[in-house]
Amino acid sequence: MNSENRGVPLWIIITIALAVSLLSISGYDYLNKRYERQATREIAERHQQEKDSAAAEAVRNERLQQAIISVSGIQTGIAEYLADKGKTPPNLEAIGFVSDYRPSNLLESVSVQPGGRIVLHFTAKSGLNGEVSLQADIDKEYWAIRGWDCTSSDFPSIANARHDCRYLPR
């Protein structure tokens, strides 16, 4: 063969074909991995949000439980007042507490209402926006308290904080 009739050497054509193939495969692999990484990132973010939400609910439930437990002295005072006088106290002062008594830093205020009802209002700092009500279940034959009915219209998951509490939508 004549050198003037020769085209591009075969080894160059093969090298170029291999390079193009490798670039194509690398590009495809890169794009495919990018979508996989994005999907993995989204799953990880969703799991983190679920963890954060569960942690926030656990903190909320713990705070609700602490606040409800903190009024046990008031519950005892109401029971003693009922046993002694045959009626429920009209307010906190009647059972020996000052009107602005707060047994927990989670509570903005606590009030005792006629009929043996205790109402807890939470501070803004507690992260709990709303109130919980504890209503005495009174046995009028013996003038004793059989138990307390714990309800809230503000905390849908209150039963998770205290199994003896119920959510009552408004």
Split at pLDDT 50, 70, 90, the class of 11 is confident
pLDDT band at 113 (very low <50, low <70, confident <90, very high): very high
Residues above pLDDT 90, as percent of the chain: 66
Average pLDDT over residues 45-59: 90
- Residue that wins the pLDDT comparison between 170 and 61: 61
Q: What backbone phi and psi angles, to 5 degrees, belong to 106?
A: -80, -15
Partners of residue 135 on adjacent β-strands? 117, 149
CA 91 to CA 122: how far, in whole Å?
19
Q: Mean pLDDT throughout 124-131?
A: 93
Of 26-30, 75-79, 89-93, 156-160, the poorest mean pLDDT is in 26-30
Please tell me the predicted confidence (pLDDT) of residue 1: 47
Question: What's the chain's Rg over C-alpha atoms?
Answer: 35
Average pLDDT, the chain: 90
pTM to 2 decimal places: 0.74
Give the number of other Cβ atoms within 10 Å of residue 5's Cβ: 6
Q: Which two tokens stand for residue 85?
A: 């006088």
Beta carbons of 63 and 128 less than 8 angstroms apart: yes
Confidence of residue 34 (pLDDT cuts 50, 70, 90): confident
At 21 the pLDDT is 85
pLDDT at 136 over 90: yes
Q: For the chain, what's the residue count? A: 170
pLDDT at 74 over 90: yes
What pLDDT, on a 0 to 100 scale, did the predictor assign at position 4?
A: 57
| Residues 6+ positions from 21 with CB-CB distance below 8 Å | none
Mean per-residue pLDDT, 121-148: 94
Classified as helix, coil or strand, 31 is helix
In this prediction, residue 5 carries a pLDDT of: 56
